[in-house]
Structure 1
Amino acid sequence: MDMTARLQGHQKWIQEELERSVAFWLNNGMDLVHGGVYTCLDREGKVFSTDKSVWMQGRCAWTFAYLCHVYGVKEEWLKASRSCLDFMEKYCINREAGNRMYFTVTADGKPLRQRRYCFSEGFYAIANAEYYGVTGEKVCLERARAAYELIWNLNQGLIKDPTGLGAKTVPETRSGRALANPMIYLNITSVLRRVDPEQEALYDQRAKQCVEEIFRYHYKPELGCTLESVGPNGEFRGDVTEGRVVNPGHDIECSWFLMEDANRRGDKDQHATAVKIFDQAINAGWDYQYGGLLYFIDCLGRPPEAYEHDMKLWWPHDEILIASLMIYRDTGDEKYLTWFERTLDYCKEHFSDPEFGDWYGYLRRDGKPTEPACKGSTFKGPFHLPRMLIMCDRMLDQLLNKK
């Protein structure tokens, strides 16, 4: 099969899978009574818990607005995005704690859980920004900007957390840095920059600092990995499990965030380092016995602490597909097309469910879904999979237009 036919075949499947995923969430997840989205759905799309993830309200709102941005406005997409935005605004913000957001709420919006990290605020920011980009509603941009500043101030230690939760560990005993903070903020920055050119200089400065933090503190070429947790100055804490944790999917997601930023600035060195991060993560994390990517590994080959370390989760495979296709598009190196196709074949065989739509979220190491199988949870909703399908569809367009 020639290259054009191969790429066209991949694109056809990706477009069909996107239709199935979008329909699954629109038909099964949207709460027509209280607003927002339910994400705890079984294989067929039946709700098995009515508690709502605040992450998923923001992620769902972003996804459906992004669909409008890429493919043109459809009323059902815009309505779904708006429903999640309105639900967050009405129920998910702790106004008495400096506008920090909850982590979970009940079906009708009563607060359940507050967590110390600020990813709810991050997904709220990109959701409002993307909706503003589609509709021009200025209040959404103002909300996105405010959340963006709150996250920065918290991550940089410029303000005390108004929730009063404090650090995860006793800071006098152990403090440090988490990879998730700069890498997620880099991605948030890319969304806001695209819709808010008025503040481009700010976004460029913040993105630069995020990249510097990732490379200076977390990227460890001497260990052949990028670490999730390091000391305040990037110290490797090899004597404790936490200090040796590598999440290969996280590193691969980080690699394409870095590549996007490098492409924007024309920085070939940054792009090359991002490719190295991808290479190290996939070579260390790929399960050559059963296929698929392991969830956690220990960088020194010691036993990981997390019970789920050898499971196969949907989202790291989405990140492989984005990153490998991006590297192939940017470099033409067919090694990365091979990684794309190897991962795509694994996902078709193990994650995809054409009968009911969307993907299984959680597989055992041998590739069989956990039982009873589920399509959504507090951490899985309409985000990683549709984002991957949209991005790969667009990149395949770019590759096919080169032919």
Structure 2
Amino acid sequence: MDTARLQSHQTWIREELDRCVNFWLKNGMDPVNGGVYTCLDREGKIFSTDKSVWMQGRCAWTFAYLCHLYGVREEWLAASKSCLDFMEAHCINREAGNRMYFTVTGEGNPLRQRRYCFSEGFYAIANAEYYGVTGETVCLGRARAAYDLIWELNNGLIKDPTGLGPKTIPETRSGRALANPMIYLNITSVLRRVDPEQEALYTQRAAQCVDEIFRYHFKPEMKCTLESVGPNGEFRGDVTEGRVVNPGHDIECSWFLMEDANRRGDRELHKKAQQVFDQAIEAGWDHEYGGLLYFIDCLGRPPEAYEHDMKLWWPHDEILIASLMLYRDTGEEKYLDWFEKTLDYCKSHFSDPEFGEWYGYLRRDGKPTEPPCKGSTFKGPFHLPRMLSMCDQMLGELLEKGKG
């Protein structure tokens, strides 16, 4: 183990984390209405005042998580609470069973409701993490209620109170989405950490999520994990939706699974998670320009999404987390190679030391889309600070091990 090399990576990551956090504290936080603006250009100037509800929850979680890892700082805790309070006041549709909106105006007026439950998921982890730091039991109650609501909706135990119904006409086509069990598995890991009283419930639900991922979506014979399958895991190769592979999503899923495997002490599950990573990065890495492609077709046919060959920031964050976790857990040098190869790409293409934060969207050749942006409805203070803080911790573990 080259400890000097690992130390240099940790130094850069810590500096980048400071730049990232300061970018959002300086440019994103709304001192008037509360919450966070995330549609920011390269310099941090706001280009849309509409607010993403996902990002309110993600930002609240991020700053509480930083307090959990590094100790409470007043500006971090205040940022987290600002987003929590904004969500509570403006982002919950009380007339529709406490389902949450997808976007609201800067002042908090509702704009858009969507059928899936990710706003509720990020609200759950935000409240749980804040409870873990502050002990405010009202936040734990909110987290538990949202966690149960998602479970009931995803498993068809209640009818969606928004009345939106499924995305496609179920008599014609229904199916399963990988996002549901994998994101719920991650939500479960956060709640378990701060709420040991419900350990049995979290263990049960995590096990079901893992089972669904491998029973229905993981296709080792096809060397991929599919985003969308039939109700019983059927491969729908005659339509583009059925052939979609999102390599970054699969890689993110792999480290969620590794965390659960490590918690259980389950070596076989860890090996299967490792296989998810191996298949995804081999299929998705762009050998001509570098970086990870956004979408691929598992049969090599034309992907439907226009952005399929772009390079987005978050899949690269997931590679860095998963590859370093694999290196830490297995000691296999190929995973350190993937970590360093991806880190080099990110330093050269995503990082912006002049203004802080990462470009969100690159063309296939690695150049930022013009005009470049640092945030959007889907990009805020979440994937990057999560990756930087987690990699900082894992590098610290490896360096401690190297001393021994």
Q: How does 1:311-390 map to 2 (within 5 A)?
A: 311-390=310-389
Gap regions ≥5 residues in structure 1: none
Aligned to 1:48: 47
Aligned twin of 2:158 = 159
Instruction: Work out the CA distance in 1 between the residues paired with 2:269 and 2:171.
Output: 35
Instruction: Find the counterpart in structure 2 of residue 94 from structure 1.
Output: 93
Deviations 1:27-71 (A, max 9, x none): 000000000000000000000000000000000000000000000
- Which amino acid is the alignment partner of residue 387 of structure 1? R
Q: What's the RMSD between the two structures over aligned residues?
A: 0.4
Q: Which amino acid aligns with 2:167?
A: K
User: Which residue number corresponds to residue 172 of structure 1?
Assistant: 171
One-letter code aligned to 1:188? I
Per the TM alignment, residue 120 of structure 1 is displaced from its structure 2 partner at its CA by 0.1
Once residues 154 and 394 of structure 2 are traced to their aligned partners in structure 1, the CA distance between those partners, rounded to angstroms, is 32
Q: In structure 1, what is the Cα distance between the partners aligned to 2:184 and 2:276? A: 18
Corresponding residue of 1:108:
107
The 5-angstrom pairing of residues 124-135 of structure 1 reads 124-135=123-134
Alpha-carbon separation, structure 2, partners of 1:169 and 1:197: 38
SS where residue 112 of structure 1 aligns? Answer: strand
Matches within 5 A, 1:88-237: 88-237=87-236
Residue 366 of structure 1: CA displacement?
0.1
Shift in Å, 1:225: 0.1
In the alignment, which residue of structure 2 is the partner of 1:273? 272
Identify the residue that residue 399 of structure 1 maps to in structure 2. 398
Q: Give the distance between the partners of 2:273 and 2:262, measured in 1 at CA.
A: 11
Q: In structure 1, give the amino acid aligned to 2:30.
A: D
Q: Aligned partners of 1:301, 1:69: CA distance in 2, in Å?
A: 44
Q: Give the CA deviation at 1:75.
A: 0.1
Cα shift readout 1:151-197 (whole Å, capped 9, x = no counterpart):
00000000000000000000000000000000000000000000000
User: Counterparts of 1:400 and 1:208 in 2: how far apart (Å)?
Assistant: 32
Matched AA of 2:399: L
How do residues 39-78 of structure 1 correspond to structure 2 at under 5 angstroms? Answer: 39-78=38-77
Quote how far apart the aligned CAs of 1:323 are: 0.1
Partner of 1:254 in structure 2?
Answer: 253
Deviations 1:246-287 (A, max 9, x none): 000000000000000000000000000000000000000000
* SS of the residue 1:6 aligns to: helix
Give % identity.
86
2:111 is paired with a residue whose SS is: strand
Q: What is the DSSP-based 3-state SS (H/G/I as helix, E as strand, rest coil) of the residue aligned with 2:209? A: helix
- Structure 2 unaligned segments of length 5 or more: list them: none
| CA–CA distance in structure 1, aligned partners of residues 340 and 106 of structure 2 | 40
Deviation at 1:310, TM superposition (A): 0.1
Match in the other structure for 1:289:
288
Distance 1:56 1:318 in 2: 17
How many residues align? The count is 402
Shift of 1:298: 0.1
* Aligned-partner residue type, residue 113 of structure 1: R
CA distance in 1, matches of 2:382, 2:131: 18
CA distance in 1, matches of 2:171, 2:2: 58
TM-score (norm 2): 0.99
What residue identity is the alignment partner of 1:296?
F
Residue 3 of structure 2 corresponds to residue 4 of structure 1: yes
The SS at the match of 1:222 is helix
For residue 309 of structure 1, what is the aligned residue in structure 2? 308
**SS of aligned partner of 1:184:** helix
Output the CA distance in 2 between the equivalents of 1:214 and 1:284. Answer: 19
Q: 3-state DSSP class of the match of 1:149?
A: helix
CA distance in 2, matches of 1:141, 1:101: 18
Cα distance in 2 for residues equivalent to 1:318 and 1:170:
35
Q: Following TM superposition, where does structure 1 have runs of at least 4 consecutive aligned residues deviating by more than 4 angstroms?
A: none
1:303 deviates by: 0.2
Q: Does structure 1 residue 240 correspond to structure 2 residue 239?
A: yes
Look up the equivalent residue of 2:25 and give its one-letter code: L
Length-normalised TM-score, structure 1 = 1.00
Structure 2 letter corresponding to 1:383: F
Distance in 1, matches of 2:400 and 2:205, equals 33
The aligned amino acid for 2:341 is R
Which amino acid counterpart does residue 357 of structure 1 have in structure 2? G
How far apart are 1:91 and its partner, in Å? 0.1
SS in 1 for 2:275: helix
